[in-house]
Amino acid sequence: MVVPLTNEPSDRWAWVEIDLNAIRKNTRAFKGLLKRGTKLMCAVKADAYGHGAVECTKAMKASGADQFAVATVAEGVELREAGIEWPILMLNQAPESAIDTLVAYDIMPSVYTSEFALAYGERAAAADKVGKYHLAIDTGMTRIGVLPEDVIEFRHAIDFHRGLSCAGTFTHFATADSAQDWDFKLQAQRFMDAVDALRNAGCDVGLVHCDNTPGTVLHPQLHNDMCRAGIGLYGLQPCELTAPRISLTPAMSVRARVTRAIYPAVGEGVSYGLNYRVPTPHVQIATVPLGYADGLSRTLSGRMDVLVHGRRARQVGNICMDQFMFAVDTNPVRSYRRAQPVAEGDLVTIIGEDGDERITADEMADLRGTINYEVTCNFGMRLEKVYV
Ligand SMILES: *Cc1c(COP(=O)(O)O)cnc(C)c1O
Which domains does the chain carry? 20-236 (3.20.20.10), 252-387 (2.40.37.10)
Query: Which string of b and e fits 277-305 if b means at least 16 CB within 10 Å?
Result: ebeeebbbbbbbbbbbebbbbeebbeebb
Share of the chain above pLDDT 70, in %: 99
- The per-residue pLDDT for 152 is 98
- Ligand 1 atom closest to Cα of 91? 13
- pLDDT grade for 334, boundaries at 50, 70 and 90: low
User: Does position 335 have pLDDT exceeding 70, yes or no?
Assistant: no
User: Does position 218 have pLDDT exceeding 80, yes or no?
Assistant: yes
Among left, alpha and beta (phi > 0; psi -120 to 50; other), residue 347 is beta
What is the pLDDT of the chain when averaged over all its residues?
97
Going by C-alpha positions, the residue among 158, 110, 96 that lies closest to residue 138 is 110
- Ligand 1 atom closest to Cα of 231? 8
Span from the CA of 256 to the centroid of ligand 1 (angstroms): 30
pLDDT digits (tens, 9 = 90+) for 141-173: 999 999 999 999 999 999 999 999 999 999 999
Query: Which string of b and e fits 158-176 if b means at least 16 CB within 10 Å?
Result: bbebebbbbbbbbbbbebb
For ligand 1, atom 4, name the residue with the nearest CA: 230
The kind and range of the H/E element at 366 are helix 361-368
Give residue 163's identity as a one-letter amino acid code. Answer: G
Span from the CA of 248 to the centroid of ligand 1 (angstroms): 17
Going by C-alpha positions, the residue among 130, 142, 342, 172 that lies closest to residue 257 is 342
- Ligand 1 atom closest to Cα of 71? 15
Binding pocket residue ranges, ligand 1, CB within 6 Å: 43, 45, 91, 172, 212-213, 228-231, 238
The kind and range of the H/E element at 184 are helix 182-200
- Compute the average pLDDT of residues 184-189: 97
Residues serving a catalytic function are 45, 272
The kind and range of the H/E element at 365 are helix 361-368
- The per-residue pLDDT for 228 is 98
Span from the CA of 5 to the centroid of ligand 1 (angstroms): 34
Most ligand 1 atoms within 8 A of CB, residue of 91, 143, 171, 233 to mutate? 91
Span from the CA of 335 to the centroid of ligand 1 (angstroms): 49
- The per-residue pLDDT for 337 is 62
Give residue 289's identity as a one-letter amino acid code. Answer: P
pLDDT digits (tens, 9 = 90+) for 58-103: 999 999 999 999 999 999 999 999 999 999 999 999 999 999 999 9
pTM of the full predicted structure?
Answer: 0.96
